[in-house]
Structure 1
Amino acid sequence: MSWTDGPFMGFDTETTGVNTATDRIVTAACVEWRNGQTRERTWLADPGIPIPKQAQDVHGISTEYAKENGRPLDEVVIEVAKVLETCAHAQVPVVIYNACFDLPLLNNHLVRLGQPTLGERVDFLPVIDPLVLDRALDRYRKGKRTLGALADFYQVRGEDNLHDALVDVRQTIAVLRAICTAYPQLGEMDLRQLQEYQRGQHRQWAEHFNQFLLSKGRSADVNEEWLV
C-alpha cells in the first residue's frame, strides 16, 4: 500500500499578513481525508493585533469580528500543533499548499508562547506540498502556480471561493490526489524519500528563481531550504 492511498491531513491558515516571523493566525483548518471520507475542524482566533485591510480583503475577517468571535490565539496555536503532532506519531502525512509559509508561521507562534516547535515535538513530520510537487513534475509549464491555477489545471476546481482556510484545504487535497493520479511514480517513494525529493526539488527551483531575480536587478531572497 502506498502513501498515495491516504490517509492525509490537510492544513491551512489565513493570517494577518505574509511575514511568518511577525504575522498571526486568524483562521486555521484541518481536514482528514481517509478512504474517501473527510473529517473537518476549523478555528477562528483573535490574533491580538489589528488585521490590516489588505488581509481583510483576502479572507474577509475584520479585527472587530475576530475579537468578538475568535478564541485566544495561544489556545488555537497549541490545539493546531497537537493535531499535527498526532499526525506525526501516526505517520499520517500533512498536506499543505506552500508549506514554507504555514509551518514556519505556526512554529514562530509556538516559540513566542514558550512552547516546543513541531521539530522539537516529533522526530519526523511527513509533509506533502502540492506546489513543490507540481513545480518539480511539470517544471516548464507556463502560467501561475497559485492553488486556484493548479485546481483549474488538474480540473478539480470546486465551486466555493478560495482564501477560506477550510475551502483551501479541501482544494489542496483534491489537487494532491490529482497529481498522484497524473504521476503514479510518486507512490513508489516512501514518506521519508518523498521528503528528500521535495527538499531537493525545492532547492533546484529556488536556485533558478534566485538567479532570475538577480538577472532582473532584484534581491535573491527566496529561501533555498525547504522546511528546515
Structure 2
Amino acid sequence: MTGWITGPLAAFDLETTGTDIETDRIVTAAVVRLEPDGAVSAERTWLLDPGVVIPEQAAAIHGIPTEHARAHGVPAPRAIEEITRAVAEVLRAGTPLVVMNARYDLSLLDRECRRYGLESLSERLGAVPSPVVDPLVIDKHVDQYRKGKRALHALCAYYGVSLDEAHDARADAVAAARVVRRMGEKHRHVGTMSLTDLHDLQVRAAAAQSASLQAYLRRTTNPTAVVEPAWPVVPRSR
C-alpha cells in the first residue's frame, strides 16, 4: 500500500482546564513525530502555568492540580508561542498533523494565541492549518453506524492500539497517530488518498456530522441547538 499512512506522521495533543474553546486554557501539550514503523523519533512536551485555577474535575482527569502547574509550569505566553511555532513547523514541512478532535485542540490553541497577542497558527501559515488528520472525524466517516463511544480510548480498543497513560498529552498524541494509521490500513480508500483530498474530505465529513448531531439534538432535547460545522478550526466570534 502507498499513501500518507506509509510515511511519517506528526501528532499534537492538549490537556486543558475544561472543554470551552473560548474560555479554557492549556495545561499540557505535546508534539511528536512517528516514523512509518510507529516509533517515536522526536518529541516536545510542555507543562504550563495557565494563569488560572485548574478545576478539580479537570485535574482529576489529567493529574495536574493548580499548585503543581504554578510551581513547575512555564508561563503560558511563552509556552503558547513555542507550541504554535512547533505545530507551524510541522505543517510547513508538509508532514500530516494528527489531532484527535482537531476542532477542539486547534481552536483552543487559536484562542490562546489571541489571548496573549501572538500570531495564530493560521496567521503564521497564511491559511487554515493543513494537512490535518483527525481520527475522530475519519472514524465517524468510514464507520458511521458502529455503536459505542468514539473517544480515543475506545478507538484504541477497537483498532488494537495500546494506550497505557490516557490523558497524558504525549501518550494521547502517540496513540492518535497509531490509531489513524490503522484506520488508513483498514480503509484503503482513505489511506491511499492524497493529503489534499483527505483534508477536503474531513472538512465535508465534519460539517455533515455536525449537521446530523444538530438535527438529532433539535429533535430530542434542544429545539434551538447549534453544532459548529467548521473544521479544523472554529472561526473566532467577532
TM-score, with structure 1 as normaliser:
0.95
Q: Does 2:184 match 1:180?
A: yes
Q: Does 2:174 match 1:170?
A: yes
CA contact (8 A) 1:111 1:117 kept: yes
User: Equivalent residue for 2:47?
Assistant: 44
TM-score, with structure 2 as normaliser:
0.92
Distance in 1 (CA, whole Å) between partners of 2:35 and 2:97 is 13
Secondary structure of 2:54's match?
coil
Give 1:88-99 correspondences, 5 Å limit: 88-99=91-102
For structure 2, the 5+ residue unaligned runs are 234-238
Give the counterpart letter for 1:11 in structure 2.
Answer: F
User: Equivalent residue for 1:154?
Assistant: 159
Correspondent of 1:212 among 216, 228, 231: 216
Instruction: Encode CA deviations 1:29-63: one digit per residue, 9 max, x unaligned.
Output: 11101233312221000000000111111111110
Q: How many residues of Structure 1 are paired with residues of Structure 2 in the alignment?
A: 227
Correspondent of 1:192 among 192, 196, 220: 196
Distance in 1 (CA, whole Å) between partners of 2:55 and 2:151 is 22
User: Equivalent residue for 1:111?
Assistant: 114
Instruction: Encode CA deviations 1:90-114: one digit per residue, 9 max, x unaligned.
Output: 1011100000110010011111121
Distance in 1 (CA, whole Å) between partners of 2:147 and 2:191 is 26
For structure 1, the 5+ residue unaligned runs are none
Distance in 1 (CA, whole Å) between partners of 2:78 and 2:96 is 23
CA contact (8 A) 1:87 1:125 kept: no
Q: Percent identity?
A: 39
| Range moving further from structure 2, 35-44 or 148-157 | 35-44
Secondary structure of 2:232's match?
coil
Alignment RMSD (CA, Å)? 1.3
Instruction: Encode CA deviations 1:69-118: one digit per residue, 9 max, x unaligned.
Output: 11111111111111111112110111000001100100111111211111
